[in-house]
């Protein structure tokens, strides 16, 4: 089965071979990235890691990096000599990881999951422990770790209903793969039940909660918010909708809602953050096609005036902070069947949260927030404009929702402490 999996992955990579070859040869901007994905890490980094045996923490992208950084901060405070190597998959995750883990031995790309490549990567790093976030399950990598007797722990583990159905199709193969993970620190009882159903050993599964609830705003959050208001030229009392992590199909709905809202709230500002930065040009064309004006965040200095209606976020790692200036936040990936994105970031700033019907990836958290009056879930795009208008009209309702969101966060904290307590057995 492993051979069949490796062959399938190789065929997929061959389909991408022109891009892979150009990147590996340095033709283009991803030479270093592709070398690292082939398990060839920079020689100075490999030299620094000799004899260190770091903890290798893998966080696929921005959201996972944020959660993992909270865990790392607590653990390294208690163990100052603990060395960390951080890996990501996405370019945005890498950029945020460099800022979030300033004391890490290095930040690299995760290797492609082929036997020779993962063996080379593990030999170069020689980790004492591997931490995989959420749903990062790589069969050949796990098999190589088991062969080298390197313990692997899944932290902040979750298995969405959609992922569960896909994994069930290959359960005979998946069951032995899961034996390569020594401990599963799952977010919820439902996640634990799914990983058990897929073949994890019961004695290795623990429910510890969601690390993202333990994220706290920076000490200078208020001053940062004021700085954003000045930079965006947001007037006192001016309404702002922050739409984060949006996908194709959602921007159209948001622009329709925005145009309706502007009839009642002429000064309304929309801060729009597409999930994938490479879609920005298309989103700009969509905005212009609707007769609206927009400016990119990177071009803000001296350009925004009262005529600008939309700010497009084209920078990395700033969305969470921008929620602090929002009157209302919309969480993307939820009006279309993408499973939703992180609703905890706007909640962290006491910003009322609205999302669509598809929040499967955050089912427990979204239901908890709705039940506590800390968020609103809309059934369709028509209801989106109505609910946003209702909140923009009612400052008291926004204040109640914001406070309820902060209370919901506090009620679910503690996953970080529980996870660190379980990880101690692997480094003592």
pLDDT tens track for 313-334: 998 888 989 999 999 999 999 9
On the question of pLDDT at 421 being above 80, the answer is yes
Q: What is the mean pLDDT of residues 47-66?
A: 93
Task: Give the DSSP H or E segment for 183.
Answer: strand 183-186
Span 175-201, average pLDDT: 95
Contacts of 78 (CB under 8 A, 6+ apart): 420
Least confident of 38-47, 168-177, 256-265: 168-177
**pLDDT given for residue 187 in this prediction:** 95
Average of per-residue pLDDT across 100-116: 95
User: What's the pLDDT at 381?
Assistant: 85
Q: Where are the alpha helices (DSSP H) in 243-343?
A: 250-264, 280-289, 319-322
> Alpha-carbon distance 378 to 384, whole Å?
6
Residue 150 pLDDT level (bands cut at 50, 70, 90): very high
pLDDT cut 70: percent of the chain above it: 94
**Is pLDDT at 304 greater than 90 in this prediction?**
no
pTM, to two decimals: 0.89
Determine contact, residues 272/312, Cβ cutoff 8 Å: yes
Query: 116: part of which helix (H) or strand (E)?
Result: helix 115-125
Average pLDDT over residues 282-293: 96
Per-residue model confidence (pLDDT) at position 28: 47
Q: How far is C-alpha 148 from the chain's CA centre?
A: 30
pLDDT at 53 over 80: yes
Q: 213 pLDDT exceeds 80?
A: yes
Q: What is the DSSP string of 126-179?
A: --SEEEEETT---HHHHHHHHHTT--EEEEEE---HHHHHHHHHTHHHHHHHHT
Q: When comparing pLDDT for 308 and 194, which is higher?
A: 194
Chain CA centroid to CA 403, Å: 24
With beta carbons less than 8 A apart as the criterion, state whether 334 and 355 touch: yes
Lowest mean pLDDT among 15-24, 122-131, 364-373: 15-24
Give the residue, 268 or 90, on which the prediction is more confident.
268
d(CA 210, CA 201): 21
Annotated catalytic residue within 36, 64, 134, 345 = 64
Radius of gyration of the chain, Cα coordinates, nearest whole angstrom? 22
State the pLDDT at residue 307: 65
Kindly report the average pLDDT of the chain as a whole number: 91
For residues 185 and 91, give the distance between their C-alpha atoms in angstroms, rounded to a whole number: 26
Distance between CA 274 and CA 278 in Å, rounded? 9
Read off the tokens for 165.
């159905």
Yes or no: say if 176 and 154 are a contact pair by the CB < 8 Å rule.
no
State yes or no: pLDDT of 16 exceeds 90.
no
- pLDDT for res 27: 47
Q: Return the residue matching tokens 């602090």.
A: 324
**Contact partners, residue 172, CB within 8 Å, separation at least 6:** 1
The stretch 89-108 carries a mean pLDDT of 92
Phi, psi of 53 (to 5 degrees): 55, 70
| Measured distance CA(355)–CA(297) in Å, rounded | 24
User: Is position 371 annotated as part of the catalytic site?
Assistant: no
Name the residue among 251, 241, 248 with its Cα closest to residue 381: 251
User: What confidence category does residue 303 fall into, taking pLDDT thresholds of 50, 70 and 90?
Assistant: low
Q: What is the mean pLDDT of residues 188-215?
A: 95
pLDDT for 364 equals 87
DSSP labels for 22-90?
HHHHT-SS-HHHHHHHTT---HHHHHHHTTT--EEEE--SHHHHHHHHHHHHHHHHH-TT--EEEEESS
pLDDT over 80 at 133, yes or no: yes
pLDDT tens digit string along 337-377? Answer: 999 999 999 999 999 999 999 998 888 899 999 999 999 99
């Amino acid at each position: 089965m492993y051979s069949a999996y490796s062959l399938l992955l190789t065929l997929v990579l061959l389909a991408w071979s022109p891009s892979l070859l150009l990147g590996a040869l340095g033709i283009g901007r991803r030479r270093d990235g592709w070398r690292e994905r082939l398990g060839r890490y920079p020689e100075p980094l490999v030299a620094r890691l000799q004899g260190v045996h770091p903890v290798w923490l893998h966080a696929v992208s921005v959201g996972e990096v944020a959660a993992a950084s909270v865990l790392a901060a607590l653990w390294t405070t208690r163990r100052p000599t603990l060395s960390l190597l951080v890996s990501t998959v996405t370019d945005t995750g890498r950029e945020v990881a460099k800022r979030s883990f300033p004391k890490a031995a290095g930040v690299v790309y995760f290797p492609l999951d082929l036997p020779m490549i993962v063996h080379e990567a593990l030999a170069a790093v020689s980790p004492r422990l591997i931490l995989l976030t959420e749903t990062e399950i790589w069969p050949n990598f796990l098999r190589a770790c088991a062969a080298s007797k390197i313990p692997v722990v899944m932290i902040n583990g979750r298995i969405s209903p959609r992922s569960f159905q896909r994994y069930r199709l290959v359960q005979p193969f998946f069951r032995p793969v899961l034996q390569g993970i020594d401990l599963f620190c799952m977010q919820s009882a439902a996640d634990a039940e799914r990983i058990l159903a897929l073949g994890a050993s019961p004695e290795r599964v623990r429910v510890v909660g969601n690390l993202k609830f333990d994220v706290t705003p920076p000490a200078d959050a208020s001053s940062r918010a004021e700085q954003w208001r000045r930079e965006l030229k947001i007037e006192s009392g001016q309404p702002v909708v922050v739409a984060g992590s949006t996908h194709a199909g959602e921007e159209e709905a948001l622009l329709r809602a925005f145009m309706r809202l502007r009839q009642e709230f002429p000064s309304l500002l929309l801060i729009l953050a597409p999930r994938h930065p490479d879609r920005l040009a298309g989103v700009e064309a969509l905005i212009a096609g609707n007769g609206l004006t927009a400016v990119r965040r990177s071009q803000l200095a001296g350009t925004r005036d009262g005529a600008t209606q939309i700010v497009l976020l084209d920078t990395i790692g700033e969305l969470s902070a921008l929620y602090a200036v929002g009157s209302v936040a919309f969480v993307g990936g939820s009006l279309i069947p993408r499973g939703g994105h992180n609703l905890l970031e706007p909640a962290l700033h006491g910003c009322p949260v609205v999302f669509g019907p598809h929040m499967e990836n955050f089912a427990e958290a979204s239901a908890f927030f709705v039940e506590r009056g800390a968020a609103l879930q809309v059934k369709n795009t028509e209801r989106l404009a109505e609910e946003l208008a209702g909140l923009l009209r009612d400052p008291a309702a926004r204040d109640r929702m914001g406070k309820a969101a902060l209370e919901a966060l506090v009620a679910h904290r503690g996953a970080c402490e529980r996870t660190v307590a379980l990880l101690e057995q692997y480094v003592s």
